[in-house]
Amino acid sequence: MTHRPGHGHGEGPGAAAARLTGRPVGGARRLSGTLAEVALDGGQMVMVKRGDDPRAVQAEAAGLRWLGDAAAVRVPAVHGHDRRWLVTDRVLTGRPSGEAAVRFGRELAALHAARAPAFGAPPPGGPKDAYIGLAPMRNIPGTDWPRWYAEHRVLPYLRQAVDDGTIRHAEAAVVERFVERLPELSGPAEPPARLHGDLWNGNVLWGADGHVWLIDPAAHGGHRETDLAMLHLFGCPHLDEVLDGYQHAAPLADGWADRIGLHQLFPLLVHAVLFGRSYAEQALGVARAALTG
């Protein structure tokens, strides 16, 4: 179902699901302050998510559709959205397995191979001013990955962290030196990949159907190693098997493992802005290691 105008803030998730899907609702169960599980007439279960910023809802809906259009990874179908609410399929979860992990690696490689028009390109219908988690993220297209990564993924969050006092001015110099050396550190040039964009373990669901499902994307065009670096950052079950599946389908460029920290600098700086000093120290450590390695 396509975009519809938003209704008042007093609307609950059940009413929003009924309005956006055009189907009667049998019941709703809140899972958090922003997320609810709703039973549609006939027994189908959907997830209903409330967003405080219309751009965040629009970006998530557009991202799910763009990832789904690649017919590679599994993502929940979007059943409707407006400026405040998003209704998607519910994913029944099961246990992680090595077999599912290998399959997921192959599917992630196929997603990346579906490409994007440019680095920083937003999904069709997605806003330029989007989000990664709770942090604003601008999708500004570029053709040169090192320059684009520096200007639109590293430096904005470094400046914010310095302004907030999370990173001291003197410490910021190490990240700035890292940025200057990005062209030589970033490895062989690659075409823009279609990224999930926020591929930490919490957004990877091991489905009861034996497949991996991806939720909550910050989808955009980027370097494929960025998605893999984020899987490494916060851990992922059967990660070695995921990488085996990926490498079999689409081998990574030589030296990719040495560049993991380079790609982790972006999410670490985002976390420094959102959650404070411990992530700032990790980001600074990554930049120092890249410069001395």
Give the residue among 81, 27, 288 at the shortest CA–CA distance from 176: 288
CB atoms within 10 A of CB 91: 21
CB atoms within 10 A of CB 248: 12
Query: Could you tell me if 119 and 192 are in contact, meaning their C-beta atoms sit under 8 angstroms apart?
Result: yes
> d(Cα 23, Cα 173) in Å, to the nearest integer?
56
> d(Cα 98, Cα 160) in Å, to the nearest integer?
40
Alpha helices of the chain — where are they, by DSSP H? 13-21, 54-69, 98-113, 145-149, 155-164, 169-180, 182-185, 224-234, 239-249, 260-275, 277-292
Checking DSSP bridges between strand 135-138 and strand 129-132, what pairing results, if any?
A: antiparallel
Choosing from 82, 89, 198, 216, which is the catalytic residue? 198
Query: Quick check: is 163 catalytic?
Result: no
> d(Cα 141, Cα 152) in Å, to the nearest integer?
9
Which DSSP state fits 151? I
Residue 24 tokens, joined:
């009667």
- Provide the residue count of the chain: 293
Burial of 96 (0-12, 13-18, 19+ CB in 10 A): middle
Active site residues: 198
